[in-house]
Structure 1
Amino acid sequence: MTDTTAAPPAPEGDIVPETGIRIIAQFLRDFSFESPHAPDSLRGGAQPAIDMGVEMNARGRTDGLFEVDLKLSARATREDQPVFHVEVVYGGLFQIGGVPEADLEPVLLIECPRFLFPFARRLIADVTSEGGFPPFLIDPIDFAGVYAARKAQAEGQAVGNA
């Protein structure tokens, strides 16, 4: 999920906010769109079934900053045939200040993805539209709920394996 212990404090000379999140950079790390049966899949018919995936990852860097990746994927199928598959890994470089160590992981895996989400969502809407489909607009994501579910799942696996 996250590696938060590797990052030392920011180097001297950098301005670190007393408490807060500063976005240093945003970037597209990976992007893929497939529509294997186009143009036949563009014809009307039954509404496709959509399977969504959401992942968040974070890691500390030696310069005191944190890289956070938000991975969104959507796979549309109709009658067991693929309609389209889109995957976006959208990243951000963040400076976090004034956050206790115990609260760092939730900040990295809840708050930082909230900043990245609108940009990744727009990319998916644009590429599905360019692929000949109506824009696929992902509903807002409850990152706190996703984080809590993944944390509970990880703790359940750790208890089950012990």
Structure 2
Amino acid sequence: MQRRRLLKLGLGAAVVIGVAGAGIALIKPGLVDGKLSPGSRELMRAVAVAVLGDLLPAGAARESALDAQLARLDQAVASLPAATRKELSDALGLLATAAGRYTLVGLSRPWGEAGPADIRQALDAMRLSSSNTRQQIYHALRDLNAIAFFTEPVNWQAAGYPGPRDI
């Protein structure tokens, strides 16, 4: 195979994958009525476990803390400008698909089945990627989870933050 033909084939495949991903994101958005869709909830729950790790309580309290985290994520998303919510919805919709998850994150298993170590490794690869798109998705996933977690004063102590000082 000649080099030129290989480049054309690669470019064509990238266009097809991009169009298919955009179509899937339109059919299955990441946000529904301004809140995380079921697929996005599974994705963000898995990322929260990987990003927050030991900051989350153990045992039965962990599930309750994750449910509260997802509720705070819905509130954080609702406070974003409409254009940002649209972009986030598109990204989450794409990441909720097998093709998007594998291509952009590098995870072969579904979000709910991947372990925290696998997700942390994939997030680190995104953070260090030469692709601006992958880096932006990494920052969105991590930052949204951190913002939602640390806006709750109850969580400050877990991070060793005593809270604001009286002036």
**Considering only CA atoms, is the larger Rg found in Structure 1 or Structure 2?**
1
TM-score w.r.t. length of structure 2? 0.27
TM-score w.r.t. length of structure 1? 0.27
Structure with greater helix percent: 2
